[in-house]
Amino acid sequence: MVGLRHRFESRAGDVTVLDGVDLHLDAGDHAALVGASGVGKTTLLSVLGGLESPQEGTVRVDDHDLAGMSRGELATFRRETVGFVFQHFGLLEALTAAENVELAGSLAGAAAGPRRRRAAELLEAVGLVDRARHRPLELSGGERQRLAIARALMNRPRLVLADEPTGNLDERSSTLVMGLLESLPAGHGCTLVVVTHDATIAARARRCFRLSGGRAIEEAIPV
Amino acid sequence: MSWRDALVLAVKGVRRRPGRAVLTVLAVLLASALLTALLTISTTARTRVLDQLSSGGPLAGIKVAAAAPDPAQVNQDNPDVGAPKDLDGAALGRIRALRGVRQVIPVLSVRQYVVPPRGPGRRRTQPFIGSVVGVDLRHVGLLPITLEAGRLPVAGATTEVAVTDGYVERVGVTPTQRSRVLGTVVELAAGRLEDDGGHALVRGRWTKATVVGVVGQDAANGELLMSDRAVREAQAWIASGVNNSRVLGGPTSPYAGAYVVAHGIDAVPQVRREITSVGYSTSAPENLIASVRRYLRVVEIVLAAVGIIALVVAGLGIGNAMLAAVRERRREIGVLKAIGARDRDIYRVYLIEAGTLGFVGGLVGTFVGWGIAEAVGVVVNRYLTQQGLEGVRLGLPVPLLVGGIAGATVLALVAGTLPALRAARLPAREAVSGG
Ligand SMILES: Nc1ncnc2c1ncn2[C@@H]1O[C@H](COP(=O)(O)OP(=O)(O)OP(=O)(O)O)[C@@H](O)[C@H]1O
Ligand SMILES: [Mg+2]
């Protein structure tokens, strides 16, 4: 992405969050995004994932140019290309764990049979098979995070965006979750961007970017 | 997302806030129950009641007089009657054969010497010459006869009589206390002219009859109502006199008139025209029919309006509940969009959620409403039966039931459109912003 500029306009005053971010990632890259709180990490991730349209600049993912896309095309892009893991999990309380995972498939128009098999496979991978019929409120924070990852992977995305996936987890769970996320690029050739405050998590990435003053600066991986 | 998946998601959405869902559904339920009940009752009133009153009762009844028709009589309620003209069995046969005629009930009448009993009135009542009307009492429901007190004489009985308020007043009892005449015994005498060796002699045939009821009647002129058999016997006595006792001034027509019941109100004008061409004077309460019809139509409109207002209020309730749901699920809708939901997927889910509330409310409410109508029907029937009229059967108004359910659903869909649109237009950004 090139020359990204994004300003939130509100009556209380405009906030310029991104001010000329230039960022290039190769397919299959694993990048960490660090920076102080409120610096715009989530915003940058939303722009990458097609949730937010920047006021200026271009975003290209593979050969999609997000700036020129209609609402419908953006929805398709989010559905088929991106897997988003939210800071707050973003699970639907009314649905069971399995249904939450299947939902992504159902939005993509997958048939019930393959959808169910894929969901079972993913729940197995994140170690939640025996919690499949439980609702998110009956799961622990770590379990919810794993569930959110399973859902993000449902449609085999080319780009996985994880917003502080270990923010609320203890060290053991963090390791487990990161292990899950990191196993992806290898498996599917997909790109992973992880926002984190945790240096040890950032240290696991291949590249690390620090967001500050509206710009992204690549740093050496801390050891 | 398929319709099925959207439906599943919508139903889960409804179940999430059971309290609110129940209240919203309850409002729809009450409204559609009200609408169904009111419409069932008023349509029944319009179709069945009018129909039964008309095909059965006084509204489709045409009074045929033993008189020639006045040329201008048709389309008038109570025309001037032409010159007296005998109405006999043959004439009734011809009328019975007319198109649109359901039944012909002959009305007999005989003039008799009436001796009221001493007792019920404050003053002693003078005997008088009165007319006794005789009809087949099995068909009373079809005749313009209303029971005011007591009961009707048994069909075919010769010792039971019902009296009118005219008689009640004549014996010095105020109409509000009319039941005081019940159980008293009236003496009746039919006079016959006899030849007693060159001298004319009137011999009376004396009978006693117990007053069993007080009626309002418009079948023929007369203060007393008895079975046709009782009147026929008196007529036979009179007719067996010299020269049919004509000299005593009795009427010559075998029947005082007839009551013709048409096949529904709509057949009344045509039947009247045909009876006129047979050669008899008729009258029918056509103005009354028209105004009853108008009145029932107005009632129907008013009741429907009340029900529809209730439904619209319920619809606003659905809209409100849905707006609240959308507001509190902004984040969740954002998440759905972030994982790829199209605008129309979200639109569908929320529209179905609103439709579900309307459908469930409409389904239960319509049947509850029909139950209410049935209960009202039972009360009405009890009254009608008491009046000696045929009861009203409430048919299962299938179009009304289907319409009620569909109507509530459509209303909910309309009410849900704005909230669903609002949900569909929410940006995916909602998934990451705010609390
Ligand atoms: N809708 C909005 N309107 C106005 N300002 C906003 C809006 N959303 C975010 N911001 C502002 O944009 C800035 C960046 O927010 P963002 O959520 O991207 O930060 P972040 O780096 O993810 O922070 P954290 O580490 O706390 O999650 C913040 O200062 C925030 O106040
Ligand atoms: Mg953030």
The answer to whether A84 contacts B1, with C-beta atoms less than 8 Å apart, is: no
Lowest mean pLDDT among B105-114, B301-310, B386-395: B386-395
Q: Is residue B222 part of a domain?
A: yes
How does DSSP assign A167-191, residue by residue? TT--HHHHHHHHHHHHHHHHHH--E
C-alpha distances out from residue A46 to A49, A183, A189, B431, Å: 5, 23, 21, 9
Residue numbers in chain A where pLDDT is lower than 70: 1-13, 184-188, 222-223
Residues above pLDDT 70, as percent of chain B: 88
The pLDDT of residue B339 is: 92
Which residue, judged by its Cα, is nearest atom 31 of ligand 1? A38
Cα(A41) to ligand 2 centroid in Å equals 6
Q: Is residue B195 part of a domain?
A: yes
Contact between B346 and B404 under an 8 Å Cβ cutoff? The reply is: no
Given the candidates 3.40.30.10, 3.20.20.70, 3.40.50.300, 3.90.340.10, the CATH classification of the domain at A2-90+140-148+156-219 is 3.40.50.300
Split at pLDDT 50, 70, 90, the class of B79 is low
The answer to whether B336 contacts A42, with C-beta atoms less than 8 Å apart, is: no
A92 to chain B, any CB pair closer than 8 A? The answer is yes
Q: Which ligand is nearest to the CA of A162?
A: 2
Q: Is A214 in the pocket of ligand 1 (CB under 6 A)?
A: no
Q: What is the average per-residue pLDDT within B423-432?
A: 90
Question: CB within 8 A of B327, min separation 6: which ones?
Answer: none
Cα(A12) to ligand 1 centroid in Å equals 14
Q: Which ligand is nearest to the CA of B433?
A: 1
Q: Is A118 in the pocket of ligand 1 (CB under 6 A)?
A: no
Task: Pick the residue of B3, B9, B339 with the most A CBs within 10 A to test the interface with A by mutation.
Answer: B339
- Alpha-carbon Rg for chain B, nearest whole angstrom, is 34
Helix (H, G, I), strand (E, B) or coil at A17: strand
Let me know if B277 is exposed, middle or buried by CB neighbors in 10 A (0-12, 13-18, 19+).
exposed
Task: Pick the residue of A48, A76, A79 with the most B CBs within 10 A to test the interface with B by mutation.
Answer: A79
Q: Is residue B98 part of a domain?
A: no
pLDDT in tens, B137-149: 888 877 888 888 8
**Domain limit, last residue, from B204, B231, B255:** B255
Its pTM stands at 0.69
Tokens standing for residue B2: 């398929």
Split at pLDDT 50, 70, 90, the class of B364 is very high
Query: Domain locations in chain A?
Result: 2-90+140-148+156-219
Mean pLDDT of chain B: 84
pLDDT at B122 over 70: no
Interface of B with A (CB under 8 A): 1-2, 5, 9, 12-13, 15-16, 331-332, 334-343, 345, 427-429, 431-432
Which residues of A fall within a CB distance of 8 Å from B339? Answer: 78-79, 84, 90, 103-104, 107, 151-152
Counting the structural domains of chain B, the total is 2
Which residues of B fall within a CB distance of 8 Å from A103? Answer: 5, 9, 336, 339
Tokens standing for residue B50: 């009018």
Which residue, judged by its Cα, is nearest atom 25 of ligand 1? A37
The whole-angstrom separation of Cα A176 and Cα A168 is 13
Q: What is the average per-residue pLDDT within B37-42?
A: 81
Q: Is residue B62 part of a domain?
A: no
Same domain, B157 and B242: yes
Cα(A42) to ligand 2 centroid in Å equals 4
Same domain, B248 and B166: yes
Q: How far is A84 from chain B (nearest CA, A)?
A: 7
The pLDDT of residue B194 is: 85
Same domain, B425 and B312: yes
The answer to whether A46 contacts B429, with C-beta atoms less than 8 Å apart, is: yes
Which comes out higher in pLDDT, residue B14 or A130? A130
Q: Is residue B73 part of a domain?
A: no
Same domain, B409 and B303: yes
Same domain, B250 and B114: yes
* Domain range for B228: 107-255
pLDDT at B397 over 80: no
The answer to whether B343 contacts A163, with C-beta atoms less than 8 Å apart, is: no
pLDDT in tens, B175-227: 888 888 999 999 999 988 888 888 888 888 999 999 999 998 877 888 999 99
In sequence order, the β-bridge partners of residue A218 are: A209
Split at pLDDT 50, 70, 90, the class of B379 is confident
Same domain, B251 and B299: no
C-alpha distances out from residue A89 to A134, A154, B335, B432, Å: 16, 15, 9, 10
The pLDDT of residue A53 is: 84
The whole-angstrom separation of Cα A111 and Cα A105 is 8
